[in-house]
């Protein structure tokens, strides 16, 4: 058997990089929960075709979920690069949900504010300082500008680019990896939104000295977190995690209980009201 890494997944067909060649593989039976970044063993059936026999246990897995199913994004990551931009729009709830998913999967985060060349970016840059204070490292770049600092932060690591459609993930990737040739899209002005140019995740190797891999992923509209328990949710918000045990009631859910340390933090300006709102709506959607 040959070992390799999944660089793309299309339904039940997978592209595997064995270090020398890209081999197109299928799975046995109906197994399809294999994702970009997975390490697999396969047998060749033809020169460039094979069958996946094993998937190695994952170090971590970034995924979304709704009531019906999970949507896998990427596995075995050293960090998630959450890309945001003021244009076409900044959706704070999506950023918060991405951060919660990364926290709960134990994946370190780097926030990249892209489109620094646009005047709209300044205000967002200031707003994101709150996130820096929460401990999320961040940098502001322009995809066509100087990316040396970002290159350094990606070197030697496996990272995934995630974020809304149109924030410039594929444009960044193409500038970091000139051979990648990922499709990028003009923003549809009519919709004032990205238009979902990237349709599948794809892993590329970084050409810089330190090596590493970068996974491009399709922009998302929603980030479902149905898979998280109340305990996992509370733990995924640093402002809530840091106040564990400080509320009057030991089982406080930080909704409107008297003596709640989290509500007090929002009152005191130590937690963004938007973040409390997203937390409360997530907790409210849990069944039990
Ligand atoms: N002004 C400016 N425009 C940018 C920058 N980066 C990307 N863009 C533009 O933003 C638009 C969307 O870029 P893409 O790279 O396709 O965005 P994406 O995040 O990959 O979008 P999806 O694949 O749909 O998720 C394109 O028109 C890019 O040219 C930047 O730094 N500054
Ligand atoms: Mg893209
Ligand atoms: Zn509380």
Atom number of ligand 1 nearest to Cα 186 = 27
Q: CATH number of the domain that 36 lies in?
A: 2.40.50.140
Looking at the structure, do residues 101 and 135 belong to the same domain, yes or no? yes
Residue to mutate, 185, 191, 217, 220, ligand 1, most ligand atoms under 8 Å from C-beta: 185
Q: Say how far apart CA 83 and CA 111 lie, in whole Å.
A: 6
Tell whether pTM > 0.85.
yes
Looking at the structure, do residues 80 and 47 belong to the same domain, yes or no? no
Distance 260 CA to ligand 3 centre (A): 4
Distance 74 CA to ligand 1 centre (A): 21
List the domain range (segments joined by +) for residue 99: 61-216
Looking at the structure, do residues 68 and 210 belong to the same domain, yes or no? yes
Looking at the structure, do residues 280 and 195 belong to the same domain, yes or no? no
Looking at the structure, do residues 65 and 51 belong to the same domain, yes or no? no
Q: CATH number of the domain that 173 lies in?
A: 3.40.50.300
Q: Say how far apart CA 177 and CA 164 lie, in whole Å.
A: 21
Residue to mutate, 82, 90, 140, 171, ligand 1, most ligand atoms under 8 Å from C-beta: 171
- Say how many domains are in the chain: 3
Residue 221, domain member (yes or no): no
Residue-wise pLDDT for 59-86, tens only, equals 999 999 988 899 999 999 999 999 999 9
Atom number of ligand 1 nearest to Cα 114 = 31
Looking at the structure, do residues 126 and 245 belong to the same domain, yes or no? no
Burial 106-141 (b: 16+ CB within 10 A, else e): ebebbbbbbbbeeeebeebeebbeebeeeebebbbb
Looking at the structure, do residues 100 and 182 belong to the same domain, yes or no? yes
Q: Say how far apart CA 18 and CA 284 lie, in whole Å.
A: 45
- For residue 266, give the DSSP letter: H
Q: Say how far apart CA 239 and CA 180 lie, in whole Å.
A: 39
In the predicted model, what is the mean pLDDT of the chain? 93
Residue-wise pLDDT for 164-198, tens only, equals 999 999 999 999 999 988 788 765 544 455 567 88
């Amino acid at each position: 058997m040959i070992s390799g890494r999944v660089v793309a997944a299309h339904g039940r067909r997978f592209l595997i990089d064995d270090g020398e060649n890209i081999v197109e593989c299928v799975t046995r039976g109906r197994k399809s929960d294999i994702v970009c970044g997975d390490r697999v063993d396969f047998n060749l059936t033809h020169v460039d075709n094979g069958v996946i026999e094993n998937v190695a246990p994952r170090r971590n897995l970034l995924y979304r979920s709704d009531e019906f199913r999970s949507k896998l994004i990427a596995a075995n990551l050293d960090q998630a690069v959450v890309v945001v931009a003021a244009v076409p729009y900044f959706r704070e709830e999506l950023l918060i949900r991405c951060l919660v998913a990364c926290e709960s999967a134990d994946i370190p985060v780097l926030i990249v504010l892209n489109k620094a060349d646009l005047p709209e970016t300044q205000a967002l840059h200031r707003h994101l300082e709150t996130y820096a204070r929460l401990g999320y490292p961040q940098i502001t770049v322009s995809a066509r500008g100087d990316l040396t600092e970002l290159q350094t932060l990606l070197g030697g690591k496996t990272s995934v680019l995630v974020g809304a459609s149109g924030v410039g993930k594929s444009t960044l990737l193409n500038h970091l990896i000139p051979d990648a040739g990922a499709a990028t899209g003009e923003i549809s002005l009519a919709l004032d939104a990205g238009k979902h140019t990237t349709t599948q995740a794809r892993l590329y190797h970084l050409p810089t000295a330190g090596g590493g891999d970068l996974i491009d992923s399709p922009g998302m509209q929603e980030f479902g977190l149905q898979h998280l328990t109340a305990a996992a949710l509370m733990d995924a918000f640093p402002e809530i995690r840091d106040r564990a045990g400080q509320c009057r009631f030991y089982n406080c859910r930080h909704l409107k209980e008297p003596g709640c340390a989290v509500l007090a933090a929002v009152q005191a300006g130590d937690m963004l009201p938007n973040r409390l709102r997203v937390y409360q709506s997530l907790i409210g959607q849990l069944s039990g």
